[in-house]
């Protein structure tokens, strides 16, 4: 598809205008690369109180998209012959372990890159904001993490694993994670406008997240700019940049590892390997979604990674075979839907990639033959899941934030509310979460124990049955 600059600018601005008028998002910044051209678009304000307009320079928190940067830093170490993907993490970080010492010895670097390490991934308790943050993260938090399943068995989103990878980069390079990211990626990519903390963000025009204290309240800025502690920068706790800066990373993968200045930052083999499917996701309705090395592969021809925290949402998507990359950064919870809509529209216009169709809602009479094995309370560190059934045999899933997730609501200025939705069997071992007339995601019940009880896979994470004394998390009943 032949793209000229003026056409690309008109298209991007038209699509932004089309979608932002129907969404609850104060500000959005978009950057698009297509056929060697790059354009930006911006709309709205970075803070509804200050009314300062968003422009191409505005920084937004990118949250978990940072994991792609971390994965790339790790693959640079592979290219340099300093580490091996198949090697146990303990070969380079002897201090690394979870509560399960036997399983810990088997966890490889590849397991961490693909979210298959098997341990609790949402360790949001603060440690320190100093240069030893990742060292303390590994020694103080990961060392006490529960091991939910054997390494390599199940995809379960694990930010803590990327904290370990960030510490690995520090040890092998002999510098801090921030120094490594600036030296080996940001500087050669030409990314200058970047903040690793709230104090650094003050040097720029930086967007703040927006939430509603309750459904009837107006959008308001969160009480603090950074809701995540600085303890795990490698997973994306506080990194912020503008859309064009983030797009530079996506463009590098379109060029198979080459920076805009012509410098090769990643071998062609490693750039390609990061985009290969390793393990299938379980939570995307009606798709063949897989996990690569750092990257998510939502469907053939695409790679992406999203980032979100209360009040902010971001998405970077690349279509390597079509030479197209799209970045959307927003400052509202509703920004996740906007980012998906904008990205889908632009990918269709520029690359001919059809958007995913909405998943079909299972018929209301789809029921399990016996609800008893599913009923119960399941726990991850940040969420309690209650599975119940009515007299009609329907299954219901109630989700309640716990621990740091609940505290985060207080910090942002909202209440931690429970969400209750029906779940209906799809006939393939998965269940659709039905909210109103739509399917929002899938959940699964994994590996029944001898008594018939399951583990729950929800929110892309494994949650353990609370009434199983052999596997109940160590923090159950606590208020960490």
Distance CA 3, CA 59 (A): 28
* pLDDT given for residue 175 in this prediction: 98
pLDDT tens for residues 74-129?
A: 999 999 999 999 999 999 999 999 999 999 999 999 999 999 999 999 999 999 88
Catalytic positions, please? 64
pLDDT digits (tens, 9 = 90+) for 132-186: 999 999 999 999 999 988 999 999 999 999 999 999 999 999 999 999 999 999 9
Cβ-contact 156, 457 below 8 angstroms: yes
**Residue 3 is inside which H or E element, if any?**
none
What pLDDT sits at residue 22?
64
Mean pLDDT of the 296-303 span: 94
pLDDT band at 1 (very low <50, low <70, confident <90, very high): very low
Give the model's confidence band at 475: pLDDT under 50 very low, under 70 low, under 90 confident, else very high: very low
pLDDT band at residue 453 under the 50/70/90 scheme: low
pLDDT for 370-384, tens place per residue? 898 899 999 999 999
Percent of the chain with pLDDT strictly greater than 70: 93
Q: Environment class of residue 237 by beta-carbon count within 10 Å: exposed (0-12), middle (13-18) or buried (19+)?
A: buried
Residues forming beta bridges with residue 245, ordered by sequence position: none
d(CA 438, CA 341): 16
Instruction: Determine the longest span between alpha carbons in the chain, in angstroms.
Output: 65
> Residue 285 has what pLDDT?
56
Predicted pLDDT of residue 147? 93
Task: Report pTM.
Answer: 0.93
Q: What is the pLDDT of residue 472?
A: 46
The pLDDT of residue 478 is above 80: no
pLDDT of residue 451: 57
Residue 328 predicted with pLDDT over 50: yes
411: tokens are 């910090």
Structure confidence at residue 476 (pLDDT): 40
Instruction: Average the pLDDT over 397-424 and give the result.
Output: 90
Whether residue 452 has pLDDT greater than 70: no
| 235 has a pLDDT exceeding 80 | yes
Q: Residue 392, class by beta-carbon neighbours within 10 Å (0-12 exposed, 13-18 middle, 19+ buried)?
A: exposed
Please report how many Cα atoms fall inside a 13 Å half-sphere around the Cα of residue 464, on the Cβ side.
20
Q: What 8-state DSSP symbol labels residue 226?
A: -
Report whether pLDDT(265) > 70. yes
Neighbours of 391 (CB within 10 A): 5
Provide the pLDDT for residue 381. 92
CB 395 within 8 A of CB 388: yes
What pLDDT was estimated at residue 5? Answer: 52
Average predicted confidence (pLDDT) for the chain:
90
- 17 exposure class (CB count in 10 Å sphere: 0-12, 13-18, 19+): exposed
What burial letters (b/e) apply to 118-145, b meaning 16+ CB within 10 Å? Answer: bbbbbbbbbbeeeeebbbebbbebbebb
């Amino acid at each position: 598809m032949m793209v000229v600059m003026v056409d690309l600018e008109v298209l991007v601005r038209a699509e932004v205008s089309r979608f932002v008028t129907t969404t609850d998002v104060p500000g959005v910044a978009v950057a698009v690369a297509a056929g060697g051209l790059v354009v930006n678009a911006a709309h709205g304000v970075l803070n509804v109180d200050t009314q300062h307009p968003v422009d191409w320079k505005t920084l937004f928190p990118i949250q978990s998209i940072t994991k792609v940067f971390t994965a790339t830093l790790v693959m640079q170490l592979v290219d340099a012959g300093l580490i091996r993907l198949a090697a146990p993490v303990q070969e380079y970080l002897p201090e690394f372990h979870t509560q399960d010492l036997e399983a810990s010895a088997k966890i490889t670097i590849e397991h961490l890159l693909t979210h298959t390490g098997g341990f609790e991934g949402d360790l949001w308790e603060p440690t320190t904001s100093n240069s030893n943050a990742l060292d303390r993260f590994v020694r103080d938090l990961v060392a006490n993490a529960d091991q939910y399943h054997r390494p390599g068995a199940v995809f379960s989103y694990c930010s803590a694993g990327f904290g370990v990878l960030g510490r690995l980069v520090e040890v092998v390079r002999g510098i801090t994670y921030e120094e490594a990211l600036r030296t080996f990626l940001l500087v050669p990519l030409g990314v200058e406008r970047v903040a690793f903390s709230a104090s650094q963000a003050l040097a720029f025009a930086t967007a703040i997240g927006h939430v509603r204290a309750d459904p009837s309240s107006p959008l308001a800025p969160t009480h603090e700019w950074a809701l995540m502690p600085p303890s795990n920068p490698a997973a994306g706790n506080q990194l912020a940049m503008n859309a064009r800066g983030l797009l530079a990373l996506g463009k590098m993968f379109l060029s198979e590892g080459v920076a805009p200045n012509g410098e090769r930052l990643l071998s062609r083999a490693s750039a390609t390997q990061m985009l290969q499917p390793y393990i299938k996701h379980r939570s995307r309705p009606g798709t063949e979604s897989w996990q690569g090395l750092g990257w998510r592969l939502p469907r053939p021809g695409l790679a992406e990674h999203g980032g979100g925290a209360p009040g902010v949402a971001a998405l970077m998507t690349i279509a390597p075979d079509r030479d197209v990359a799209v970045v959307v950064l927003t400052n509202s919870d509703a920004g996740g839907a906007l980012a998906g809509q904008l990205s889908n529209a632009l990918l269709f216009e520029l690359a001919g990639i059809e958007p995913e169709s909405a998943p079909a809602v299972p018929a209301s009479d789809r029921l399990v033959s016996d609800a008893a094995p599913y009923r119960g309370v399941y726990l991850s560190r940040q969420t309690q899941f209650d599975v119940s059934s009515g007299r009609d045999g329907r299954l219901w899933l109630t989700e309640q934030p716990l621990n740091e997730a609940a505290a985060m609501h207080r910090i942002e200025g909202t209440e931690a509310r429970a969400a209750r939705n029906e779940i209906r069997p799809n006939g393939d071992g998965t269940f659709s979460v039905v909210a109103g007339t739509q399917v929002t995601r899938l959940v699964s019940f994994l590996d029944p124990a001898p008594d018939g009880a399951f583990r729950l896979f929800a929110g892309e994470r494994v949650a353990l049955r609370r009434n199983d004394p052999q596997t109940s998390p160590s923090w159950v009943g606590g208020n960490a």
